[in-house]
Amino acid sequence: MKISIIGAGAMGSLYGGKLSLSGNDVVLYDINKAHVDTINSKGLIIEESDTGEKITAHPTASSNPEDVSGSDLLIIFVKSTATKLVSEQFVKYAKPETIALTLQNGLGNEDIIRDSFGAERTAAGVTSQGATFLGPGKIRHAGNGPTHICMSNKDNTKLKEVIRVFSESGFEIHIEENIADLVWSKLVINVGINAVTALSGLENGKLLDYSDMKSLMADLVGEAVTVAEKKGIKLSYDDPLQIVYDVSEKTALNRSSMLQDFDRGSLTEIDFINYAIVREGAKLGIATPFNSAISKLVKSMELVNRSRKVTDA
């Protein structure tokens, strides 16, 4: 099976590396030239956090979009801010039967990809795998967990081969008919953590040291849960706020992806996380003042951080 990963950061490299180890023809597409060159010359090192074992995989890495031509599966792992761009760019390299699968964070990526590929060639998923980018050609497999996927048109017979190759590569994978419930379940957790860490500069676990931050997390999560319930979403846990606190504690030393975006002075995925709650709430006539305010703050700080980056350069 030819599989192309669009966006070979930590998670994209994890999936691409593991899938290549089981004999699949894998292309890791990324614009990070140092990462691409290192993989092609020395391979991709995957460090297992639980055992310390280091495995070297040898997928093909490329910054040439044409190299993904003929893929049976495109796995989209770019930042949500780039989903529309890559969907429109890569659909022309897809075969009529190619499936485009999003395993990205946030709400709205499936809709964007479906606009380009159609529901019959679009699949959405949620994964509990974790990975950290350590540098060009090196990642850490930070945590194992199941992956759930579903075709946009619910014709999941098309995913039979995908299930097989994922399983053979060591991934726990399941067909999930109600993928929206899982997407929202993960979204609520991100709503409660990511923006607060970005604005405070704190690692996940440190948020719990401050009562006002815990209160803010509760306000953000409360709005998200209200919107989810109104939409008929069934979350995969009974106590959303406690789950958010638990995840913060379990990932205590982690710098969230949004905080890392601030570190780099790059755009965040706020539009697909907290601001997604604002958009969905507005459709239902539900006020979401806390998510609205924090979204505005993050968007403002994006501009400030990018301005600082330009000045420093």
* Average pLDDT of every residue of the chain: 95
pLDDT per position as a tens digit, 61-74: 999 999 999 999 99
* Percentages of the chain per state (helix, strand, coil), in multiples of 5: 55, 20, 30
Report the pLDDT averaged over residues 43-70: 95
155 vs 312, which has greater pLDDT? 155
Would you say residue 83 has pLDDT above 70?
yes
Please report the pLDDT score of residue 155 as a whole number. 94
Please give the structure tokens belonging to residue 43: 């391979």
DSSP tag of 1? -
Comparison of pLDDT for 251 and 31, the residue scoring more = 31
- Among 186, 206, 214, 231, the one annotated catalytic: 186
- pLDDT, tens only, 105-135: 999 999 999 999 999 999 999 998 888 889 9
Q: Residue 308 has what pLDDT?
A: 77
pLDDT tier for residue 50 given thresholds of 50, 70 and 90: confident
Q: Residue 306's pLDDT is what?
A: 77
pLDDT-derived band at 263 (thresholds 50, 70, 90) equals confident
Residue in the block written with tokens 């993928």: 179
Task: Label residue 23 exposed, middle or buried (CB < 10 Å: 0-12, 13-18, 19+).
Answer: exposed
Let me know: does 134 contact 54? Beta carbons within 8 Å: no
Domain with CATH 1.10.1040.10 in the chain: 180-312
Q: What is the mean pLDDT of residues 227-244?
A: 97
Span(s) in the chain for CATH 3.40.50.720:
2-177
Query: What DSSP character marks residue 235?
Result: -
- What pLDDT is attached to residue 80? 94
The verdict on domain 180-312 having CATH code 1.10.1040.10 is yes
Under 8 Å CB-to-CB from 94, ≥6 apart: which residues? 71, 74, 100, 117, 121
Question: Tens of pLDDT along 248-261?
Answer: 998 888 888 899 88
Residue 235 in this model has a pLDDT that exceeds 90? yes
CATH number of this structure's domain 2-177, picked from the four choices 3.10.20.600, 3.90.1150.10, 3.40.50.720, 1.10.150.110: 3.40.50.720
Facing residues of 131 across strands? 141
Residue 81 has pLDDT above 60, yes or no: yes
pLDDT of residue 253: 82
pLDDT at 202: 95
Rounded CA-CA distance 261/266 in Å is 5
Model confidence pLDDT, tens digit, residues 158-197: 999 999 999 999 999 999 988 999 999 999 999 999 999 9
92 is catalytic: no
